[in-house]
Amino acid sequence: MAFAFDPAVLVSTALLVGFYFRAVRILARRGYTVAVRQQVAWYGGVALITLALVGPAGALADRLMVAHMIEHLLIADLAAPLLLVGLRTPVLQFLLPRPALVTLARRRRLRRAMRVLRLPPVAIGVYVLVLYGWHLRPAFEGAVRNDLIHVLQHQSFIAISLLVWWPGLQPERRRMPGHLWKIGHIFSARLISIFLGMAFVFGRHSFYPAIYGSSPREYGLSPLADQQLAGGAMMSLDIIIITFALCLFFWRSAQDFDRAGRATPLGVQLVTTAAAIAPATSAAEITSSSRPVGQEPGEPGRESPSAESRTAHAASRPPAT
């Protein structure tokens, strides 16, 4: 089994682990315990990046298109959202050293640009441009032939995946809200990726013959079959992610609904209902008490005699003998 030993990759991933461990320790000293599943998500994302770049997929990326595609799927479509889950607040505010955070916080234009880029329509637009741009023949073949361009390609894929997943996962909040519009947002991004995978699957010739025109035959694959496998892997993972996002956001939306119901005590609900009914009941009681004896509801014109009329009537009667 082939491996691609790259000291730069190992150093980078070690820094990611070190910064995160430091943030968790600082929060623990302040009395906050980072959830185990949140830590597992971060370390799992870092592990996937390491496996993709130094494992068999990275070692065969310049020989097989399917290996190159698996490398991209691991670092962008799987590792990036896991990193965001691990970054959930308050870890997000303690990941980088304080001087770096202060410097970034003072860059108002940078902060404003990041707020705009994280808007769902903008994130989708950037995702389309970067994803399809890197899969044009000159850019893709250049990335395979030049290590620096290949690193830039990987960083671009991770960045656009973070942008797309940020509005859905919202790591700046301690608890992810379960808004159902997020399903459509993730579905749109994955559908764009599915279309690219379909082009690889249903294409009638190799799109990158200069780099994958003959090398796949060394592994028992034709160049076209290699390309179709790459497209199939891309489409399959997209469908899995869509299904997962559908279940995740529906489940969290149901949780939010239940939490909102439990947040309103039963006594408050009864008092509110009684207050709404009380005015109508009081008006009915006042009307009933002012009705003369013997008058039925709705019977018009019969009023109770006044005190003066009763005195005049008594004076007009003849005296008793």
- Domain map of the chain by residue range? 7-97+107-263
pTM to 2 decimal places: 0.79
Q: Is residue 167 helix, strand or coil?
A: helix
Which position has the token pair 């001087």?
Answer: 99
Q: Residue 176's closest CA among 244, 252, 123, 241?
A: 252
Q: For each successive 10 residues of the chain (321 residues), what is the average pLDDT?
A: 80 95 96 96 97 92 95 96 96 91 88 93 96 96 93 96 96 92 95 96 93 92 96 97 95 90 60 48 47 50 50 50 43
Cα diameter, the chain? 141
How far, CA to CA in Å, does 11 sit from each of 18, 50, 74, 154, 309? 10, 10, 19, 16, 108
**Residue 89 in contact with residue 173, Cβ under 8 Å?**
yes
Q: Which residue has the tokens 């700046």?
A: 172
Cα 73 from chain centre: 19
Cα dist. 301→46, 98, 283, 298, 312 in Å? 88, 85, 20, 10, 22
pLDDT at 6: 81
Distance separating alpha carbons of residues 68 and 129, to the nearest angstrom: 20
Cα separation, 167 vs 182, whole angstroms? 8
CA angle 199, 66, 17 (to 5 degrees): 115
